[in-house]
Amino acid sequence: MPMTISEKILAAHSDRPEVTPGDLVEARLDFAFANDITAPMSIRVFRDAGGERVFDPQRVAMIPDHFVPNKDINSAIQAKELRDFARDQQLPHYFEVGRMGIEHVLLPEQGLVLPGDVIIGADSHTCTYGALGAFATGVGSTDLGAALVTGRTWFKVPESLRFVFSGELGPWVGGKDLILYTIGRIGVDGARYKAMEFTGPVIESLPMSDRFTMCNMAIEAGAKVGIIAPDAVTEAYVRGRAKRPFRFYRSDPEAVYEAVHEWDISGLEPQVACPHLPENVRGVSELREVPIDQAVIGSCTNGRIEDLRIAASLLKGRRIAPHVRCIVIPGTPEVCRQALAEGLYEIFMNADAVVSTPTCGPCLGGYMGILAAGERAVSTTNRNFVGRMGHVQSEVYLASPAVAAASALVGRIAHPADIAAR
Amino acid sequence: MSIRGKIWKFGNDVDTDVIIPARYLNTSEPDELARHCMEDADPEFIRKIRPGDIILAGKNFGCGSSREHAPIAIKGARIGLVIAESFARIFYRNAFNIGLPILESAPAAAEIQEGDEVEVDIETGAIVDRTTRKHYQAKAIAPFMQELLAAGGLVPYVRRLQRQASER
């Protein structure tokens, strides 16, 4: 029977010849992890469920990335619970401040999550790793805590939606614009419970960083996973990083999809999601008059070196608009080192931007850039819900690093081409 | 299990940041989380509700983050049940795992009004609006999920299975 990539991975991990949407399967996990917000509860569940040792220390990570370096005393207590657990369980993949990065940038970079894997993380953006051709999904702390004991978890096999992108990507348009466009078309529950499979010549031409950005935001359409068939680009990324063997799966040509969306994206301009839902998407040129107070460039969505390079190409030799804060957050120490080596820190600082240590920080209104009532941010993050980045009367516009950098320079939402032309 | 309470009505796409804002996620204590439940949608919510009251919402309730703090905040606030047209998948799974009853019914979500007195049989999914005397039938909960709810969540459920295995 023909299967999609998602079905093939789930079948292989539950020792079945085949699975079909709706089947309940108990799958072997290749990797499981939690962060400083979700781990304390998972650790409690692990102990309550009778756990003594995690199923495989090599396949577990604890990553304090949300409110770390500790933003307050309670955050310090949570980070300590995670640290103590990692020490007690002798987990090799615990990442202390200095080695810690934003989980979904860090784990692929370190070769800990790989093509063909089944992965759960106690964080909704775990779907990021679909970019590698893995079946990866976010769960709550209880599911994660139980999985730390057993190394398995149950899934309902999702229906798949196929997205075929063709045409020519315009200048300043990339993975962030494609996924915002997609969410704008299908809505924040357009893929609820389903697998979103991104295909077509445009996807095949995308570098890994853009693929991660797209799969990262599959959850913003309600999806269980976002997934891209691995190819030579994936191979080149994974080679030299992978800490264990991996396997490429591809959908069969006759695989069954609940729906197929075929879109020619030629002429698509940079996309922006307006408050307060990621589906409120418009072309950047419709929003040129919207003034901003802050620009954030970073997060699990857009905190990779390629994102910082795009921002730097616009900020180089220019200055952030007066009264605007531009906060740049590299995703991992490796991204920091690379940015330093390429002179990007100097470009950011000369433009009057600030560069933070890796952290989720302002994306979820934690710290490092909270908004006051009436303030507005352009952000490369993933959610623009009410109060997401601070006060309930603040606003977040989601966009690419190019749009965020261009907007920071003029103090209102801007098309990157307007800046580049100056 | 039967629940009777007053309806508090919300719209579509109620996200986890509204259910429990991230600024309060530096703890996982249910009572502390409950204090801020639905705060960004209605700052007075927690002071207005009574134990056993029911949240009613539109489509995609609980979208956004995987934070289990969201259903814990609702359960901690002594809300007896959430009825919605539909739920986001991680929230759905989390609610059962921690033993918060939830039911899906599009007609109930559309027609029942804030303030109505509603009685619900969790096992059968029968919803009765005592104010309007209208009846609704929620989508059936899978038997496995029913067992989770009856046990009080995934952890007590797993422990019960372990106990049964050792008694054999």
* Per-residue pLDDT band at B142 (split at 50, 70, 90): confident
Residue in chain B nearest A46 by alpha carbon: B155
| pLDDT confidence of residue B154 | 86
Distances (CA, A) of A397 to A196, A294, B125: 24, 10, 40
What is the pLDDT confidence band of residue B150, given thresholds at 50, 70 and 90? confident
CA-based max dimension of chain B: 51
Between CA A410 and CA A422 the distance in angstroms is: 12
Grouping H, G, I as helix, E, B as strand and the rest as coil, residue A141 is helix
- Amino acid letter, residue A96: E
**SS3 state of residue A364:** helix
**Cβ <8 Å between A49 and B155:** yes
Record: contact A364-B22, CB cut-off 8 A? yes
The pLDDT of residue B162 is above 80: no
Cα(A272)–Cα(A286) distance, rounded to whole angstroms? 9
CB A113 within 8 A of CB A33: no
Alpha-carbon span A115 to A5, nearest angstrom? 11
How large is the angle between the packed helices B154-167 and A141-150, nearest 10 degrees? Answer: 30
B158 confidence band (pLDDT: 50, 70, 90): confident
> Which pair of structure tokens corresponds to residue A119?
């992965």
Contact between residue A125 and residue B90 where contact means Cβ atoms under 8 Å apart: no
Distance between terminal CA atoms of chain B? 29
Sheet holding A160-166, edge to edge: A225-227, A195-199, A160-166, A259-264
Has residue B144 got a pLDDT over 90?
Answer: no
Our CA-based measurement puts residue B25 at a distance from the nearest CA of chain A, in whole angstroms, of: 7
CA–CA distance, B67 with B130 (Å, rounded to integer): 34
Q: How far is CA A394 from the centre of its chain?
A: 23
A122/B66 Cβ within 8 A: yes
Alpha helices in A92-169 (DSSP H): 103-109, 141-150
Residues of A in contact with B89 (CB under 8 A): 192-193, 222, 224
Spell out the residues 6+ positions from residue A52 whose beta carbon is closer than 8 angstroms to its own.
none
Contacts A75 to B, Cβ<8 Å: 26
Residues whose CB falls within 8 Å of the CB of residue A15, separated by 6 or more in sequence, listed in order: none
Position B155 pLDDT exceeds 90: no
Q: Measure B39 CA to nearest chain A CA, in Å.
A: 10
The CA distance from A113 to A126, in Å, is: 10
pLDDT of residue B157: 81
Per DSSP, what are the bridge partners of residue B81?
A: B54
Beta bridge partners, A34, equal: A62
Handedness of CA B40, B41, B43, B49 (dihedral sign): negative
SS3 label, residue B127:
strand
| Distance (Å, whole) CA A38 – CA A398 | 25
Q: Are A138 and B41 an interchain contact pair (Cβ–Cβ within 8 Å)?
A: no
CA A74 to the chain's CA centroid: 26
Do residues B40 and B82 lie in contact, with contact meaning Cβ atoms separated by under 8 Å? Answer: no
Distance CA(A416)–CA(A399), nearest Å, equals 11
C-alpha to C-alpha distance for A247 and A416, rounded to whole angstroms:
39
CB within 8 A of B26, min separation 6: which ones?
A37, A67, A71, A72, A74, A75, A78
Cβ contacts of B121 within 8 Å, gap of 6 or more: B1, B2
List chain A residues with CB under 8 Å of B21: 365, 387
Contact B155 A142 (CB under 8 A): yes
Q: Is the pLDDT of residue B165 over 90?
A: no
Q: In terms of CA atoms, which chain A residue is nearest residue B61?
A: A189
Task: For residue B1, give the nearest of B132, B141, B108 by alpha carbon.
Answer: B141
| Measured distance CA(B88)–CA(B13) in Å, rounded | 9
Beta-carbon separation of A146 and B154 below 8 A: yes
Q: In angstroms, rounded to a whole number, what is the distance separating the alpha carbons of residues A294 and A292?
A: 6
User: pLDDT 10s digit of each residue in chain A, 422 long?
Assistant: 999 999 999 999 999 999 999 998 999 999 999 999 999 999 999 999 889 999 999 999 999 999 999 999 999 999 999 999 999 999 999 999 999 999 999 999 999 999 999 999 999 999 999 999 999 999 999 999 999 999 999 999 999 999 999 999 999 999 999 999 999 999 999 999 999 999 999 999 999 999 999 999 999 999 999 999 999 999 999 999 999 999 999 999 999 999 999 999 999 999 999 999 999 999 999 999 999 999 999 999 999 999 999 999 999 999 999 999 999 999 999 999 999 999 999 999 999 999 999 999 999 999 999 999 999 999 999 999 999 999 999 999 999 999 999 999 999 999 999 998 87
> Which chain A positions have a beta carbon within 8 Å of B40's beta carbon?
386-387, 392
Triad A9, A10, A12: Cα angle to 5°: 65
Nearest to B15 among A126, A192, A385 (CB): A385
Least CB–CB distance from A385: residue in B18, B153, B154: B18
Residues A124, A176, A65, CA angle at the centre, nearest 5°?
40
Q: What are phi and psi of A183, to 5 degrees?
A: -65, -40
Shortest CA gap B75–chain A (Å): 15
A140 and B23: CB-CB below 8 Å?
no
Query: Given an 8 Å threshold on Cβ–Cβ distance, is B86 in contact with A50?
Result: no
Beta carbons within 10 angstroms of residue B156's beta carbon: 15
A66 contact residues in B (CB cutoff 8 A): 25
- The pLDDT value given to residue B166: 75
- The distance of B109 to chain A (nearest Cα, Å) reads 17
